Amino acid sequence: MSSQFTGAMVQRFVDLCRDRGTPATPQRIEIYRALAGSEAHPTPEMLYDQVRLSMPSMSLATVYKTLDTLVALGVASEIATTGDAKRYDANMEQHHHLVCTQCHSISDFRAPAFERIPLIAPEDFTPEFVSIRVHGLCKKCKASPPHS
Amino acid sequence: MSSQFTGAMVQRFVDLCRDRGTPATPQRIEIYRALAGSEAHPTPEMLYDQVRLSMPSMSLATVYKTLDTLVALGVASEIATTGDAKRYDANMEQHHHLVCTQCHSISDFRAPAFERIPLIAPEDFTPEFVSIRVHGLCKKCKASPPHS
DNA sequence: TTTCGGTTGATAAAAATTATCGCGTTAGAT
DNA sequence: ATCTAACGCGATAATTTTTATCAACCGAAA
Ligand SMILES: [Mn+2]
Ligand SMILES: [Mn+2]
Ligand SMILES: [Zn+2]
Ligand SMILES: [Zn+2]
C-alpha cells in the first residue's frame, strides 16, 4: 500500500463505519491508518508503537480490540504465520505472500501465474478461496547471511 | 498418515537419529509416533495428552523441546496458522492443506493441478518452496452450521 | 565403577492475548 | 438543556502459550 493511497483507504474505512453504524473513533481511525500505511504486515505491538507516536494515550488492549473490529468489518485480515505474534493485513485485494525463511518478513506478491489458480478441493470440502505463499530468502537476508 | 505406515515412519525416525547422533529416547519416539499417527496437525497440548496415555510421566516442556528437535531433524514442520497454538505436521512430502474457516481443522490435500505450481518470485527474492492452502468449509462444518 | 554430556521433568518466567471494570463520551429521549 | 443509557477507551488483572532454568537422571565412554 503506497502511502498516497492510504488517505483514500482511510476515507473508505470511515464511510464503511458510518454505513455499518460502527463508530469511527479517533483510535480506530489511527489504528487503521497505521495498518493501511504499512507494508510489513505488522503485529499488534508494531501498530501500538506506531500509533502512540501521534496518540500517546493509546492502549494496547484497544489495538487488539480494534483489530478484531477491522477483521469483522472486512477491511483487514489476520495472516497465518509460524511466528509468535499475530500479523495483520489491510490489503483486501486478492494477492499472495513472500515469506522469508530467515527473518520472517512478509511481503505482498502478485503474479499472473497465480491469478488463475483453480479453486479446487475434494468432494466433501467447500472451497472459498486459496492463499499461496512463496517461502525463501528476502533481499536483505540474501545480502547478509546469518553471522556465523 | 494412515496408521499402518506409522510404524515404518517411526523406524525411519529411529534410524535417522542414529545417523545424526541424536539419542532416540523413549520420549522422543513416543512424541514422534503420536505426531506421525495423527492426521489432525496437532498442537503441543494435543500431543501431550496423547503421549501421556502411554507415558504418564511425560512433561509438556519435553513435548515442546522435542518438537523443536523434530523440526531441526527435518522430520516435522510447523504449520502456519491464525490460531492460538502451534501446530505440527510429520508429513514431509510435498503437499498442501485444506483449512476450515469455521472449526480451523487442517487436512492434507494433494491435487495434480497443484503439483506443478511454478516456483516464481520477484527478482530480489530467492524462492525455495511454495505452500498452498485452500480455505473453506470442512465436511463436518458443512453438515452442522453454527448453531444460530 | 566413575565421569561426563545430554535429556527429562518440575517449575519459574516470559510473552502474547483476552477479560474485566470504572470512567468518559456521546446519541437520543425527555 | 438535562438526563440517561449505551458503548468505547484505558488501565490492569487474568489467562494462555511458550520458553528458560535447573537439579536429578541416564547412558556411553574412559
Ligand atoms: Mn499482504
Ligand atoms: Mn499436512
Ligand atoms: Zn529475510
Ligand atoms: Zn470445520
Half-sphere exposure for A6 (CA within 13 Å, toward CB): 15
Whether pLDDT at B103 is above 60: yes
This prediction's pTM: 0.93
Contacts with B135 from chain A: Cβ below 8 Å? 127-131
- DSSP secondary structure string for all residues of chain A: --HHHHHHHHHHHHHHHHHHT----HHHHHHHHHHHT-SS---HHHHHHHHHHH-TT--HHHHHHHHHHHHHHTS-EEEPBSSSS-EEE---SS-EEEEETTT--EEEE--HHHHT------TT-EEEEEEEEEEEE-HHHHHS----
Mean pLDDT rounded to a whole number for chain B = 94
Å separating the CA of residue A119 from the C1' of nucleotide D24: 55
| Confidence class for position B147, pLDDT limits 50, 70, 90 | very low
Is strand D in 7 Å reach of the CB of B45? yes
Closest listed residue to residue A117, CA positions, set A96, A143, A138: A96
Least-confidence region, from A81-90, A138-147, B8-17, B44-53: A138-147
Q: Indicate if the pLDDT at residue A148 is higher than 50.
A: no
**How far lies B95's CA from each of A115, A118, A138, B115, B117, in Å?**
20, 16, 23, 8, 12
As annotated, the residues of chain A forming the CATH 1.10.10.10 domain(s) are 3-79
For A98-110, write each residue's pLDDT tens digit.
Answer: 999 999 999 999 9
Are B114 and A113 in contact by the 8 Å Cβ rule? The answer is no
Task: Report residue A87 as a C-alpha cell.
Answer: 500479523
Position A147 confidence tier, pLDDT thresholds 50, 70, 90: very low
CA of A27 to C1' of C22 (A): 20
Looking up cell 479446487 gives A120
Kind plus residue range of the DSSP H or E element containing B71: helix B60-73
The two beta strands, B96-100 and B87-89, are unpaired
Cβ contact B17:B23 at 8 Å: yes
At residue B113 the predicted structure's pLDDT band, cuts being 50, 70 and 90, is confident
**Comparing A32-46, A73-87, A113-127, which segment has the lowest mean pLDDT?**
A113-127
> Length of chain A, please?
148
Q: What is the mean pLDDT of chain A?
A: 93
Contact present, B136 and B100 (Cβ < 8 Å): yes
Which protein residues have their CB within 5 A of the ion that is ligand 3?
A 100, 102-103, 105, 138, 141
Higher pLDDT, B134 or A2: B134
Pick among A64, A81, A108, A124 to test the B interface (most B CBs inside 10 A):
A124
pLDDT score of B3 more than 80: no
For CATH 3.30.1490.190, list the domain ranges present in chain B. Answer: 94-143
Residue with CA nearest to C26's C1' atom: A23
Instruction: Identify which of B52, B75, B43, B48 has the alpha carbon closest to the alpha carbon of residue B60.
Output: B48
Checking if the pLDDT of A57 tops 50, the result is yes
Q: What is the pLDDT of residues B11-60, one digit of tens each?
A: 999 999 999 999 999 999 999 999 999 999 999 999 999 999 999 999 99
Instruction: List Cβ neighbours of B70 (8 Å cut-off, separation of 6 or more).
Output: B28, B31, B32, B35, B76, B88, B90
Cβ–Cβ below 8 Å for B80 and A133: yes
Rounded Cα distance between B116 and B111, Å, is 10
CA-CA distance, B142 to A124, in Å (whole number)? 9
- Tell me: pLDDT of B9 over 50: yes
In the predicted structure, residue B1 carries a pLDDT above the cut 90: no
* Strands B126-137 vs B96-100: parallel, antiparallel or unpaired: parallel
Which chain A residues contact residue B128 at CB under 8 A?
A: 101, 135-137
Q: Which nucleotide is nearest to B28 (CA to C1')?
A: C7
Tell me how far CA of residue B93 lies from CA of A121, A133, B108, in angstroms: 19, 17, 10
Which residues are within 8 A (CB) of A33 and not within 5 positions of it... i.e. 6 or more apart? A6, A10
Q: How confident is the model at residue B148, as a pLDDT? A: 39
pLDDT for B126 beyond 90: yes
Q: Residue A79: is its pLDDT beyond 70?
A: yes
Within 10 angstroms of residue A55's Cβ, the number of other Cβ atoms is 15
pLDDT score of B97 more than 70: yes
Helix (H, G, I), strand (E, B) or coil at B21: coil
Yes or no, beta carbons of B126 and A134 under 8 Å apart: no
Distance B78 CA to ligand 2 centre (A): 10
- Rounded Cα distance, A33 and A8, in Å: 10
User: Nearest-CA residue to the C1' of D21?
Assistant: B61
How many angstroms is it from B106 CA to the middle of ligand 4?
9
Q: What is the pLDDT of residue A2?
A: 58
Candidates 3.40.50.11540, 3.40.50.1980, 1.10.260.40, 1.10.10.10; correct CATH number of A3-79?
1.10.10.10
Please state which of the four CATH numbers 3.40.50.720, 3.60.20.10, 3.30.1490.190, 1.10.357.10 is assigned to the domain occupying B94-143: 3.30.1490.190
Q: Once rounded to an integer, what is the mean pLDDT over residues B89-93? A: 97
The Å distance, Cα B139 to ligand 4 centre, comes to 7
CA of A55 to C1' of C23 (A): 19
pLDDT at A145: 66
Chain A 61-100 residues in 7 Å CB range of strand D? 61-62, 65-66, 84
Residue reference for cell 476450515:
B100
